[in-house]
Amino acid sequence: MTAVGSPVTVIWHDLECGAYAEDLPLWRELAAEHGDPVLDVGAGTGRVALDLARAGYRVTALDRDTELLDALADRASGRKSEIVRLSSQAPVTTVVADACDFDLRERFPLAIVPMQTIQLLGGADGRAAFLRSARRHLQPGGAIAIAIAEALDLYDATDGMQYPLPDIRELDGIVYSSQPIAVRAERGGFVLERRRETVAVTGERTVEHDLIQLDRLTARGLEREGRAAGFARAQRARVRETSDYVGSEVVILRAPG
């Protein structure tokens, strides 16, 4: 029941993450301060990378999901109907790689890690590996800005608690609905659960549940891990919460000068 020309992975990613825009001014501000090219880690279908490119910055978009990056590349090139108008001086380069172990043979003045991506790396060992890889790819004195969620409001639909409205999209006659139904605390982190439902043109309905594990992490703890990887603390920024998305603490670290 996948929509024509759109892998289902891309559809769910766009539906659940693509509308978030509260952090975009911060990434633009940092790009203006540090210059390009910008390394966007966990780029997905290009929510941040394409916004920066529209603003005139060159971006290297890194993700381990080939389908998501293919969608990003299509949008950047104008091959899809949702044409993204980019400056010819601001290309987007896509790289399929694991954030914990990548080698781009290039250095950047700025790397960004939006939307709690670092909390998906499987704990302290994964973060340490990522920070080592990131440091190798920063120019002397370069900065890395990492968004984290220190705490989440817990709820569970099975307990009769109110939960957010679903994200809904119709594409090629198929209706996609993604309903957040729980945020649970588990040892070492949080589990986010969504109920994904599709309704085909024929009325056929499917339901599945998607679980995301977020590591528990504080800004102070991330700064401590950054120092262990050779970074210095630079500053912090804050992205406020919205009615649909949790707020973020953004930790900014600097590579040795």
What is the DSSP annotation of 118-181?
GGGS-SHHHHHHHHHHHHHTEEEEEEEEEEE-S----EEGGGT---PPPEEEEETTEEEEEEEE
Measured distance CA(44)–CA(37) in Å, rounded: 18
pLDDT confidence of residue 177: 96
pLDDT confidence of residue 210: 95
**Could you read off the pLDDT of 121-163 as tens digits, one per residue?**
999 999 999 999 999 999 999 999 999 999 888 888 766 666 6
**Identical fold between 8-151+216-254 and 155-214:** no
- pLDDT at residue 5 greater than cutoff 50: no
- pLDDT at residue 223 greater than cutoff 50: yes
What mean pLDDT is predicted for residues 240-251? 89
Q: What is the DSSP letter of 241?
A: -
Pair of tokens at residue 191: 């589990």
What is the DSSP annotation of 67-115?
HHHHHHHHHHHT-SSS-----TT--EEEEE-BTTB---S--EEEEEE-T
pLDDT confidence of residue 165: 83
Residue written as tokens 């929509």? 3
**pTM attached to this predicted model:** 0.91
Q: Please name which of 41, 252, 32 lies closest in space to residue 137, comparing C-alpha atoms.
A: 41
Pairing outcome for strands 189-199 and 174-186: antiparallel
Q: Which residues pair with 170 in a beta bridge?
A: 175
**Could you read off the pLDDT of 57-93 as tens digits, one per residue?**
999 999 999 999 999 999 988 755 444 555 555 689 9
Is 229 within 8 Å of 132 (Cβ atoms)? yes
- pLDDT at residue 4 greater than cutoff 50: no
Q: Please give the CATH topology (third level) of the domain spanning 8-151+216-254.
A: Rossmann fold (3.40.50)
What mean pLDDT is predicted for residues 190-212? 95
**Could you read off the pLDDT of 95-106 as tens digits, one per residue?**
999 999 999 999
Measured distance CA(239)–CA(211) in Å, rounded: 24
- pLDDT at residue 3 greater than cutoff 50: no
Proportion of the chain above pLDDT 90, given as a percent? 79
pLDDT confidence of residue 1: 35
CATH architecture of 155-214: Single Sheet (2.20)
pLDDT confidence of residue 188: 84
Output the average pLDDT for the chain. 90
Q: Which residues pair with 95 in a beta bridge?
A: 62
For the chain, which residues make up each domain, given as ranges? Answer: 8-151+216-254, 155-214
What mean pLDDT is predicted for residues 209-215? 95
Which conformational region is residue 150 in: left (phi greater than 0), alpha (psi within -120 to 50 degrees), or beta?
alpha
pLDDT confidence of residue 124: 96
